[in-house]
Amino acid sequence: MKFTILYGTESGNAELIAEDLGAALSEQHDDVAVHDLQQTDPGSLSPDTFYLIVCSTHGEGDLPNSAIPFAEAFDATPPDLTGVRYAMFGLGDTFYEETYSQGSEHIDRRFAAQGAERVGEYGRHDASSWELGSDAALEWLPGVLESAAIPA
């Protein structure tokens, strides 16, 4: 099974979490890649890869800067994501109740609209908590792999 971890970030937190998830997956799996969404062509998403998407929230529930080029390319030429499976981990701050973790939801809606299947629990990290984002993501990962029937 191929894994690609895509991240959208504003300040680097989503990138750090993506790298930690990649390191954890690499302990059990050989084909693991980590990429910034801004360097990802939506047309390259493939059913032979399981995607983990880590995306922060910027401003008033907006996408972070590194995810904007991906979203624009996605909207310009929506890819057929039939057969694509993915898991979503969003970052946000519950202090901003109405926009909490909305950045990841922008990506999630696009994937679902094009036929991709989200697997497992929707992971989220609250910047107002005392928990580190990577700790929350690494705790979330085994449940996603179990839901996807992928050995941990």
Domains delineated in the chain: 2-149 (3.40.50.360)
**pLDDT tens readout for residues 23-79:** 999 999 999 999 999 999 999 999 999 999 999 999 888 999 999 999 999 999 999
**pLDDT tens readout for residues 15-24:** 999 999 999 9
What pTM did the predictor assign? 0.94
Three-state SS at 63: coil
Q: Where are the alpha helices (DSSP H) in the chain?
A: 13-26, 68-76, 102-113, 133-147
Q: Are 70 and 24 in contact (CB under 8 A)?
A: no
